[in-house]
Amino acid sequence: MAKKKNKGPAYVCASCGATHPRWVGRCGTCGEWNSVEEAAPAPSVASRERSGGTSKARPLGEVDMEDAERLPTGIGELDRALGGGPVRGGVVLLGGDPGIGKSTLLMQALAALCRSGSSALYVTGEESASQVALRARRLDAPGALDVAILATTELQDAEAALMAEEPAVAVIDSIQTLRDSDLGNAPGSVTQLRSVAGRLIDLAKRRRIALFLIGHVTKEGAIAGPKVLEHLVDTVLSFEGDATHAFRIVRATKNRFGPAQEIGVFEMEGAGLREVPDPSALFLAERPEAAAGSVVAPTAEASRPMLVELQALVAPAAYGAPRRVVTGLDGSRLAILLAVLERRARHRVLDRDVFASATGGVRATERALDLPLALAVVSSLRDEPFAADAVAFGEVGLAGEVRAVPRPGARIAEARKLGFKRVVLPKANAATLTDGEREGMQIIAVRSLAETLEKLF
């Protein structure tokens, strides 16, 4: 049985990685056209058994522990997202929309590492060496001109350079442009990607190179092709933000060497990316005064709490089904909150158009933002500004109850730092606050959405 199963080639979707028993024109899983291609057959059970193996299992207690050897880049926000810096022998996949600044960020990182004495290699398949040199000169980054560069689209060339140069850190820009000439498929296909990534990762582990792979992102927001790639690498970073906006956020969505969800914030300037060590102030800088529909919320998804401004605009539905449009927020969360507002807090919102956004190009999907988002919607609906000196956080349940969220103290501290005087928070969170955490803040503890609205509007 097993043998028969392994015989025929499977077909894999290049977009989502789903397998199909035979070729189809359209992937049934992700709906992409012309993305299904033949995959190399897996080796049969018999041949795997023959190849044997000499590794023996042993108790965990006998395993030597080697600490991850980090190479901090000195770019604090990048190191923060990586949990302290890139790790030797560790592989980081950096994904993001075209033009967001992936090449710029990693060139700056290599430049900084070169300056502190590490050797660095930049392999470019996207741009010519002279285009990369032009960018490097433009950056305000001493050390950029010491970075070794190789322009190629052949995996074998890249491997040869990695072995010859033995860099401490290397960047592949991008993984989709490299092609393994031993295989027939076009670059960027799943078979190619798997092979190229697999071989580079293997090389990085053996030679203890801190390796960055740049990956394109499809319009759906996945790193193109490869869910496959995310499993292979140690760390997945996504570079987010609106290309038309100056802020850029690097977020670790997976990290074998540190906490996930850690973020670093940058601003794109004429001479490259500049770190933003205090993002709250920047996110609130353009906040309109006394405008209805705007509420400031402290997030604490990453280790560093940040204040973000949530905005809502409620308008009569123009025609047909009311529209819900979100930017940087979770659309299904908004839909739930609107239903809760209507059914549990007697606010008529379900038949209106509702637009909501987190400003500054931030993606804020934490549950703690339920309460401030609901407040922003009500503020817009009533055309009454929310208190300018107050922040709010808390999860809202389907019964309209306000539930506790993690790290209330850290959220309040961030609000205090930015000059806020009042905080609306779940009663269960308020009960745990120390005197120090309450200091200088008026604490407004609430149990339900309806109670919050009564108290504040």
In whole angstroms, how close is the CB of 87 to Mg ion at the nearest point? 23
Nearer to Mg ion, 216 or 411 (CB): 216
Q: Identify which range of 141-149, 267-275, 344-352, 400-408 contacts ligand TYD by CB under 6 A.
A: 267-275
Side-chain half-sphere exposure of 299, counting CA atoms within 13 A: 25
Nearer to ligand TYD, 95 or 426 (CB): 95
Side-chain half-sphere exposure of 70, counting CA atoms within 13 A: 13
Among 21, 52, 270, 440, binds ligand TYD (CB under 6 A): 270
Contact pattern from residue 59 through residue 98 relative to ligand TYD, giving x for each residue in contact according to CB under 6 A and a dash for the rest: -------------------------------------x-x
Quick one: what does residue 89 bind among Mg ion, ligand TYD, none, with the CB cut-off 5 to 8 Å set by partner type?
Answer: none
In whole angstroms, how close is the CB of 218 to ligand TYD at the nearest point? 14
Tell whether residue 100 is a contact of ligand TYD (CB under 6 A): yes
Rounded to whole angstroms, the Cα distance separating 310 from 368 reads 12
Strand order across the 148-151 sheet? 148-151, 120-124, 169-173, 210-216, 91-96, 235-240, 247-255, 263-269, 272-275
Q: Identify which range of 20-28, 102-110, 201-209, 344-352 contacts ligand TYD by CB under 6 A.
A: 102-110
Q: DSSP character for 289? A: T
In whole angstroms, how close is the CB of 452 to ligand TYD at the nearest point? 41
Quick one: what does residue 225 bind among Mg ion, ligand TYD, none, with the CB cut-off 5 to 8 Å set by partner type?
Answer: none
In whole angstroms, how close is the CB of 233 to Mg ion at the nearest point? 18
Rounded to whole angstroms, the Cα distance separating 225 from 38 reads 14
Among 73, 103, 124, 192, binds Mg ion (CB under 5 A): 103
Rounded to whole angstroms, the Cα distance separating 272 from 87 reads 24
Amino acid at 286: E
Rounded to whole angstroms, the Cα distance separating 94 from 428 reads 39
Helices (H), 285-407: 331-344, 370-382
State yes or no: cis peptide before 195, omega within 30 of 0. Answer: no
- Site size toward ligand TYD (CB under 6 A) is 15
Q: At what angle do helices 449-456 and 370-382 cross, to 10 degrees?
A: 50
Question: Strand, coil or helix: what is 228?
Answer: helix
Rounded to whole angstroms, the Cα distance separating 51 from 48 reads 5
Q: Identify which range of 102-110, 183-191, 304-312, 345-353 contacts Mg ion by CB under 5 A.
A: 102-110
Q: Identify which range of 97-105, 147-155, 322-330, 447-455 contacts Mg ion by CB under 5 A.
A: 97-105
Residues within window 163-202 making contact with Mg ion, judged by CB under 5 A:
none
Unique residue bearing structure tokens 């990685």: 17
Nearer to Mg ion, 95 or 400 (CB): 95
Quick one: what does residue 294 bind among ligand TYD, Mg ion, none, with the CB cut-off 5 to 8 Å set by partner type?
Answer: none
Nearer to ligand TYD, 53 or 270 (CB): 270
Nearer to Mg ion, 103 or 189 (CB): 103
Q: Where are the beta strands (DSSP E) in 21-119?
A: 36-38, 91-96
Among 35, 103, 177, 294, binds ligand TYD (CB under 6 A): 103
Amino acid at 97: D
Nearer to Mg ion, 103 or 294 (CB): 103
Tell whether residue 104 is a contact of ligand TYD (CB under 6 A): yes
Tell whether residue 271 is a contact of ligand TYD (CB under 6 A): yes
Side-chain half-sphere exposure of 147, counting CA atoms within 13 A: 31
Distance of CA 285 to the CA centre of its chain: 23
CA torsion, points 25, 31, 37, 39, in degrees to nearest 10? -140
In whole angstroms, how close is the CB of 171 to ligand TYD at the nearest point? 11
Tell whether residue 135 is a contact of ligand TYD (CB under 6 A): yes
In whole angstroms, how close is the CB of 172 to ligand TYD at the nearest point? 12
Q: Which residues of 151-172 are buried (b: 16+ CB within 10 A; e: fewer)?
A: bbeebebbbebbeeeebbbbbb
Among 120, 233, 236, 268, binds ligand TYD (CB under 6 A): 268
Q: Which residues bind to Mg ion, rule: CB under 5 A?
A: 103
Q: Which residues bind to ligand TYD, rule: CB under 6 A?
A: 96, 98-104, 135, 138-139, 268, 270-272
